[in-house]
Structure 1
Amino acid sequence: MHFADVAEIIDELNLDEAVFIIKLLDSEKTSEALMELDEDQRERIINALSPKEIAGELEEMDTDDAADILSELSEEVAQEVINEIEDEQHAEDIVELLRYDENSAGGLMAKELIKVNENWSVTGCLSEMRAQGENVTRVHSIYVVDNANKLKGRLSLKDLITAPDNAPIKDVYIPKVDFVNVHTTGEEVARLMRKYDLEAIPVVDELNRLVGRITIDDIVDFITEEAEKDYQLASGISQDVEANDSIWDLTKARLPWLVLG
């Protein structure tokens, strides 16, 4: 069963039944289903799990999704969850993302990507890509870096597979690549990706080192959330609510403006 179908079923259940399903199924399936749920529903389910169980879900998520989940927990519980994550590199990557403002490129990016060194040969590059690909759900782009991990360009899959086996990547890659800094605003990231019709964009730090990438689904989620905030502000809603919340919840949210009116 597809994870979107699992999420649809969970959404129809009460809390106890939803938690039972999450515990029953494999984390590889439920981790993706959790990200499909309404934020409030997901938060209720997560709060009903133990730190070890939450860690099991986070280990199967991309780092950006895992960081979003972790940021919703109390500081004490979040630390317990981090301690339960067996993959130390994954845990470090998640913690790193929590350092950035949630509306910046650093807060939107994920650490999972495919990168190759400009000094590798085509044969060595393919071998390394296979190893890296195990941790990447979808390969949007292949980025090229130097020995200091500084972004140099991007690599066309067509150019890679048609180049001689012993050719160095520096003779094959495309030096022009659009990128953003970790402190670039989400709005600017969205503008660039829309302008250049990008499926993904790499993110660099202050030293131009490649640290992550933002995909189109990440930026669509950001745009949707910002649009909802703008709508609520224009409607005089004073707190976070969802479109499918009850009439009473929506009315309470607008109460200050209703009273003033």
Structure 2
Amino acid sequence: MSLWKLIRLTVLVGALFLALQSTVWKSWQLSHWQRPVWVNVHLLNGDGEASTQHYMESLTNADFADIETFLNEQAADYGLPLDQPIHLALDSQVQVLPPPQPEPGASALAIMWWSLELRWWHWWRVDNREHSDVDLFLVLYGPENLQRPQHAFGIEKLWMGVVYGYASKKLGEVNNVILAHELLHNFGATDKYDPQTLYPVYPSGFAHPEQQPLLPQRQAELMAGRIPLTPQQAEIPDDLSQVVIGKTTAEEIGWLVP
């Protein structure tokens, strides 16, 4: 290993140690819902286009308010004893993109290195750290980019998530569904779809598994991400009004006792 790589690794490990030390108490509070959770959304221009930047600058708190409303209403339905467990606000723009994700089949060392770089990037790119429990980064691309170059992710108790979305008013509500999905990964929620087909897993990935007849469903379970219509077909919900948090997810995040 070169001297530069050794220095870089030492700095990254040091930053990781400091970050872990400072978040142990916060992690316990958040994972046990001992107080309201403050979530900040940060915007990034993924393709560098002027049109994407213009869209970013047009966004306000109102464009993300349905995430907060949805989560708080769902929490109330499960009897969580907090008046407003989630507070969500639009925060600063971030200029530096997150480190690219490892390629499929990457080695354990490559994944560990990426994790360290991600933590380092998160630590240095958030100015309002003392007023945020969870940071969600929305990397935006023009709608002509039909495929996102990366997969969205949220990592349990890392207290951050990254979503690659479209700079489009029409698709803004879909971005919010994905942001809510990745947010709950931080609290231990697991995906509830087949990773090969993306079809929701029965019963935990169905919004209403008791429904008769079972199909078509009218809503999506948040961590499944799609509305099952036929045994082979499922569609992405248009917005959070077509989404619910199922019992299994509620148990995983501590809203419901198993």
TM-score (norm 1): 0.26
Q: Name the larger-Rg structure.
A: 1
- Larger helix percent: 1
Higher strand share: 2
TM-score normalised by L of structure 2: 0.26
Higher relative contact order (CA 8 A, sep 6+): 2
